[in-house]
Amino acid sequence: MNKLHVLVVGSTGLVGSSLTRVLSKSRKVSRLTPSSRKDTDLFDFNKTKKLIAQTKPDVLIIAAAKVGGIVANNTLRTEFLLENLKINTNLLEASIPYPDMKIINLGSSCIYPLQAENPIKEEYFMDGKLEPTNSPYAMAKLTAIELGRSINKQFGHQVLNLMPTNLYGPNDYFNFEHSHVIPGLLSRMHKAKIDNDEKFFIWGSGSPFREFLYVDDLSNAIEFLLDKNLNIDLLNVGSGHEITIKNLSELIKKTIGYEGELAFDKNIPDGNPRKLLDSKLINKLGWKPATTLEIGLKNTYDWFLENFNSLKK
């Protein structure tokens, strides 16, 4: 087996840092090049083009993105659309001269229609209206998929678009307002525990169902797919398990050891009532997740505690 030179852009984020850990140990990888905003401004096409030209990887993994939770997506709509469009269009356009380079583009389950039947299959792509609170982010990801398909048809690139479910894990973004649900709940509830708050408010009704995947499971899926030549270009990556936000909050409460009461703020929108991916295709290829939600939450909270002082800066 020919070992691969892999370039990971967005290498310091949640997914990128996990990929760096996992791929650095992979027998499929001869050389791993992590790239972040410290060395390359992906908003600048010429700098992006220079990165691709200088590294000439066998595989480009696009893990760079502006991400956030429901509040961030709904309030920073222009930034989410513009910044993600710039990142993806610059990287994909810069890749055009290298048709032998495989591209693994990381999308999001939010690309699927609001009213899509659950579990959500890959074939539901572009089959209805988007969930309104995060439609700008979804539109940027949809554009990346369409651009990748155009590059494939016109220039011959192998582009694999992976649609992970809601991710969490070490090195997540633990901002109180703009983070995803698990790091947001975890960091705010930790503060409530420290402050001895008697009541902890959770955004929304608590009734929506969500599916979560530990980030290292996604990285292991990518490592599994590195040397696979597939005849499909869109692949869901999920855990196959869903939980209500209320039950998730109870599980986080137990993980943290918070003893106060949980209350729900129904003035904040819930978003999609249910979003479970159908991951049968990748399961049939031979990959399955290995981390339970309980273990993943413990690992995430342990990392949070170890890095708490640096996160406050």
Q: What single-letter DSSP state applies at residue 277?
A: B
CA distance 116 to 234: 16
* Strands 159-164 vs 29-35: parallel, antiparallel or unpaired: unpaired
Q: What tens digit of pLDDT does each residue of 133-153 get?
A: 889 999 999 999 999 999 999
CA distance 114 to 135: 10
CA distance 214 to 228: 22
pLDDT (0 to 100) of residue 70: 66
Structure-token match 């899509």, residue found: 116
pLDDT (0 to 100) of residue 312: 61
How many Cβ atoms sit within 10 Å of the Cβ of residue 76? Answer: 16
- Write out the catalytic residue numbers: 137
pLDDT (0 to 100) of residue 268: 83
Contacts for 120 with CB less than 8 Å, ≥ 6 apart: 109, 112, 236, 275, 276, 277, 278
Q: What share of the chain is helix, strand, coil (3-state, %, to 5)?
A: 45, 20, 40
Residues of the chain with pLDDT under 70: 1, 68-74, 178, 312-313
Model-wide pTM > 0.85:
yes
Q: What tens digit of pLDDT does each residue of 207-263 get?
A: 999 999 999 999 999 999 999 999 999 999 999 999 999 999 999 999 999 999 999
Cβ-in-10-Å burial (0-12, 13-18, 19+) of 120 comes to buried
pLDDT (0 to 100) of residue 72: 67
CA distance 181 to 275: 14
pLDDT (0 to 100) of residue 22: 98
